[in-house]
């Protein structure tokens, strides 16, 4: 091989290495969540958001970053996946409000009963200073960066094996409530007994009579076919749910500035897509549930007032106690932000 040939050959290898490197997988980003794998309608906004997140990162990085998604709780329940993300076994995880509260009690202010008048108000508040400060606190306490406060299928409602029109109808009933101490206090103020049962065990617990009812969002209820054991739906709209996407901070900081920008752009897309899909799904899921035998009841304004008056203050008192010295300040901030966002709508 003469000198010229060697030079040309070396140059060709260099070009090949550069082009190949631009498209070769260099980083793997694993995302775990508990929603379904494929986007559908009705369906989880989180699923649509994660798919948009994955697509943007892989395309914008030219394939250097491969995003592997593990849906359907295949890597464990929500708490387990959050802990895995803290350890770095998972790079990102889709959580939900109530499961974040045991890690950082301040998150509970986002579920104060009737604090958000509508979805748009919630989106505005969580995209503003309150959402930013809660994210900063969560990062400090857990090592997980909140990439986006996406809509978690909207509002929580009440589901049971008998009709419920007001708090009086829940007196003595055993209700499954998630690990948010405020929600537990709220249901007790409504006269119910409470039990905390994991989401994975809820269907069989309702079937066996361990619990007579529960609260969650419409699509979450529909996706697990809980209407088969709790066919009565009371549209109480008592608390708003969020499905944040979180990332291990050490992993995020290990990325180049260019790749961090790609991830943050993908996170913004995740939130926007999830919000839109959640809202659209909420418009069609009731019809789908009614076809499966669910019966809906819309409380009157007077009945909603009863739910609010009996449940809101016990919720606030409980979470203020859990948060500590800054508890009331957090409550006042989110109420004020919600009022301001509502006035702007």
- Cβ atoms of residues 67 and 54 within 8 Å: yes
- Cβ atoms of residues 242 and 131 within 8 Å: no
Average pLDDT, integer, range 192-213: 94
- Helix locations, 1-77, DSSP H: 3-23, 45-60
- pLDDT tens-place string over residues 153-175: 999 999 999 999 999 999 999 99
Q: How confident is the model at residue 24 (pLDDT cuts 50, 70, 90)?
A: low
pLDDT of residue 345: 65
CATH fold, domain 26-344, is D-Maltodextrin-Binding Protein; domain 2 (3.40.190)
Question: Which of 120, 61, 136 lies closest to 272 in space, CA to CA?
Answer: 120
Question: Which of 144, 147, 146 lies closest to 250 in space, CA to CA?
Answer: 144
- Cβ atoms of residues 35 and 46 within 8 Å: yes
Average pLDDT, integer, range 19-34: 76
Which H helix or E strand runs over 284?
A: helix 257-291
Whether pLDDT at 181 is above 90: yes
- pLDDT tens-place string over residues 278-315: 999 999 999 999 999 999 999 999 999 999 999 999 99
| pTM of the predicted structure, to 2 decimals | 0.89
pLDDT of residue 199: 86
Exposure string of 35-53, with b = 16+ CB inside 10 Å and e = fewer, is beeebeebbbbbbbbbbbb
- pLDDT tens-place string over residues 32-57: 999 999 999 999 999 999 999 999 99
**Sheet of strand 65-70, all strands in order from the earlier edge strand to the far edge:** 65-70, 27-32, 92-94, 245-248, 144-148
Burial (CB < 10 A; 0-12, 13-18, 19+), residue 247, is buried
pLDDT of residue 26: 92
Give me the chain's average pLDDT, please.
Answer: 92
Whether pLDDT at 325 is above 60: yes
Exposure string of 138-152, with b = 16+ CB inside 10 Å and e = fewer, is bbeebbbbbbbbbbb
With a CB cutoff of 8 Å and minimum separation 6, the contacts of 215 are 156, 157, 158, 159, 175, 176, 177, 183, 187, 236, 238, 239
pLDDT of residue 179: 82
- Cβ atoms of residues 148 and 244 within 8 Å: yes
Give domain limits for the chain: 26-344
User: What does the DSSP assignment read for 103-164?
Assistant: T-GGGGGGG-TT--SSHHHHHHHHTSHHHHHHHHHHHHHHSEEEEE--EEEEEEEEEESS--
Q: In 3-state terms, what secondary structure has residue 236?
A: strand
State what percent of residues in the chain have pLDDT above 70: 92
> CA 157 to CA 164: how far, in whole Å?
11
**Sheet of strand 193-195, all strands in order from the earlier edge strand to the far edge:** 193-195, 174-176, 213-217, 151-160, 232-242, 295-297
- pLDDT tens-place string over residues 64-75: 999 999 999 999
Cα–Cα distances in angstroms (integers) from residue 223 to residues 35, 52, 73, 218, 295, in the given order: 9, 21, 13, 9, 16
Q: How confident is the model at residue 259 (pLDDT cuts 50, 70, 90)?
A: very high
Whether pLDDT at 217 is above 80: yes
Residue 41 has, within 13 A of its CA and on its CB side, a CA count of: 10
């Amino acid at each position: 091989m003469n000198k010229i040939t060697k030079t040309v050959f070396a140059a060709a290898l260099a070009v090949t290495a550069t082009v190949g490197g631009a498209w070769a997988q260099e980083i793997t980003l694993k995302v775990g969540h508990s929603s379904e794998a494929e986007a559908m309608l009705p369906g989880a906004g989180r699923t649509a958001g994660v798919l948009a997140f994955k697509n943007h990162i892989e395309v914008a990085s030219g394939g250097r970053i491969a995003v592997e998604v593990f849906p359907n709780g295949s890597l464990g329940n929500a708490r387990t996946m959050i802990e895995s993300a803290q350890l770095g076994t998972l790079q990102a995880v889709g959580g939900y409000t109530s499961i974040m509260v045991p890690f950082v009690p301040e998150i509970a202010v986002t579920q104060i009963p009737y604090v958000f008048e509508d979805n748009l108000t919630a989106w505005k508040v969580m995209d503003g200073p309150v959402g930013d400060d809660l994210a900063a606190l969560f990062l400090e306490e857990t090592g997980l960066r909140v990439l986006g406060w996406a809509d978690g299928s909207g509002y929580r409602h009440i589901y049971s094996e008998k009709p419920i029109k007001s708090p009086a109808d829940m007196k003595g009933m055993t209700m499954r409530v998630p690990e948010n101490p405020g929600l537990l206090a709220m249901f007790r103020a409504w006269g119910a007994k409470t039990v905390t049962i994991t989401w994975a065990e809820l269907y069989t617990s309702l079937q066996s009579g361990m619990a007579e009812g529960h609260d969650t969002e419409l699509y979450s209820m529909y996706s697990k076919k809980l209407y088969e054991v709790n066919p009565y739906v009371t549209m109480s709209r008592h608390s708003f749910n969020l499905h944040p996407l979180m990332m291990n901070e050490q992993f995020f900081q290990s990325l180049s500035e260019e790749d961090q920008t790609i991830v943050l752009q993908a996170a913004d897309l995740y939130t926007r897509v999830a919000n839109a899909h959640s809202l659209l799904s909420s418009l069609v899921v009731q019809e789908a549930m009614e076809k499966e035998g669910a019966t809906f009841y819309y409380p009157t304004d007077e009945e909603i007032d009863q739910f609010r008056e009996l449940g809101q203050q016990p919720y606030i008192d409980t979470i203020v106690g859990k948060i500590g010295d800054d508890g009331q300040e957090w409550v006042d901030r989110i109420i004020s932000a919600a009022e301001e966002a509502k006035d702007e709508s």
